[in-house]
Amino acid sequence: MSAKRYSFWKVMGVVAGLHIVLELIAIGVLSTMQLPSQSYSMEKFLGVKSLISQAVGVVFASVFFYYTLNYYYSLVVKKSATHKYILYTAGALSVYTTYNIVALKYLSVNGKELKLSSPLLFTLLASVVNAIFATGLSLLLAYLQNLRDEQKQRKILEQQKMELEVEKLQANYNFLKAQINPHFLHNTLNFFYAKSLPYSQELSDGILTLSEIMRYALSQDNVMYGRVPLADEIEHLRNVIKINQLRFSNKLNVHFEVNGVINNVMIIPFILITIVENAFKHGDLKNSESPINILLFVDDQNGIYFYCHNKKKTGPKELSTGIGLDNTKKRLDMIYGDQYTLNIKDEMDSYIVELNIRTL
């Protein structure tokens, strides 16, 4: 059993509290009623041996419920097979029944030895019934606690999903708000591209690349079930690298390698580019000895593996809110769940991001 769902002291507090309530009720009954049998008098009930017996009972019940509650909770969470419930229940019943018999023999209020007679058989039956009740109560409480925990988890996931949708809508709104008729601007760039061809091949290539970047960012035609073809994402990545190279007269040291078959592979958009843009923003782009290394590998066994390494630039650092990578993690959680791993190594002079999406 892994982490305990119930702490021992919490269980003991509940057990002791219930025991005190029941004892007060019993004292009230003994003080107001004249029982036919004189074997349960107030003096015997509050005697040293009785109090020791009750204390031992509280400790045993606390230990018993602590282990049974946690173990049943573990079985329920793991959706274990029926035979595990049966084996553990049989063991719990045996332990509880044995304790009841021993307690009656050595910790009885009257201090009388038990004799093999019909009262003993009744005692055995009562012990078994008590054991069934205690064990069944543990199983029921563990099951109800699991239902409650699952409900809380669903609410948390629904809240996170709602927050993501709000953030997505807000991001789209801010993006569109920042544009002056983006489709008009896209068409204008295409016009400038055609006009610049006779004058400068480099300028026209830059305008065409920028136009392709905007087309990919604005177009929703290639999105299917929240994902885009990996080939389109790679092309967008190449365009962003190209436009940055043009900005710096092709002096940036970037190594981008793609291995594996990428056809028919889908991915949620703008995940890879967020990682690369972070490297462009904070990396030492002009260091020939430490280029930005970007590797994308795809196969049927490991899925999509993406690696980005950059040397940190020295001097003044650009301010970063970290919102981009945080949103990337949230989107990966929502779409891929536990089918991905994202490892970020923020070292003294380098920054490494490894993303592995195991499901294609």
| Model pLDDT, residue 1 | 45
CA angle 330–299–303, rounded 5-degree value:
20
What pTM did the predictor assign? Answer: 0.49
What rounded mean pLDDT belongs to the chain? 77
Domain boundaries, the chain: 8-159, 220-357
Cβ pair 253, 286 in contact under 8 A: yes
Q: For residue 220, what are the CA distances in angstroms to 11, 185, 217, 318, 322?
A: 55, 17, 8, 32, 26
| Model pLDDT, residue 172 | 64
| Model pLDDT, residue 2 | 47
| Torsion, CA 177, CA 183, CA 188, CA 194, rounded to 10 | 140
Per the model's pLDDT, the better-predicted residue between 349 and 103 turns out to be 349
Asked if the model's pLDDT at residue 256 lies above 90, the reply is: yes
Whole-angstrom distance, CA of residue 355 vs CA of residue 195: 42
**258-312: pLDDT as tens digits:** 999 998 899 988 889 889 988 888 888 777 778 899 999 999 888 999 999 998 8
Asked if the model's pLDDT at residue 217 lies above 50, the reply is: yes
| Model pLDDT, residue 185 | 64
| Model pLDDT, residue 260 | 92
Structure tokens at 330: 């949230």
**3-45: pLDDT as tens digits:** 567 778 887 777 777 777 766 676 665 566 555 554 555 555 5
| Model pLDDT, residue 117 | 41
Indicate the SS3 state at residue 158.
helix
Asked if the model's pLDDT at residue 115 lies above 50, the reply is: no
Asked if the model's pLDDT at residue 244 lies above 60, the reply is: yes
| Model pLDDT, residue 297 | 95
Which DSSP state fits 198? T
By mean pLDDT, which of 108-112, 182-186, 232-236 is the weakest? 108-112
| Model pLDDT, residue 306 | 96
Per the model's pLDDT, the better-predicted residue between 110 and 232 turns out to be 232
Adjacent-strand bridge partners of 352: 309, 345
Mean pLDDT comparison of 70-74, 230-234, 332-336, highest-scoring range: 230-234
Residue type, 324: G
Per the model's pLDDT, the better-predicted residue between 219 and 214 turns out to be 214
The domain covering 220-357 belongs, at the CATH homologous superfamily level, to Histidine kinase-like ATPase, C-terminal domain (3.30.565.10)
| Model pLDDT, residue 132 | 84
Cβ pair 276, 323 in contact under 8 A: no
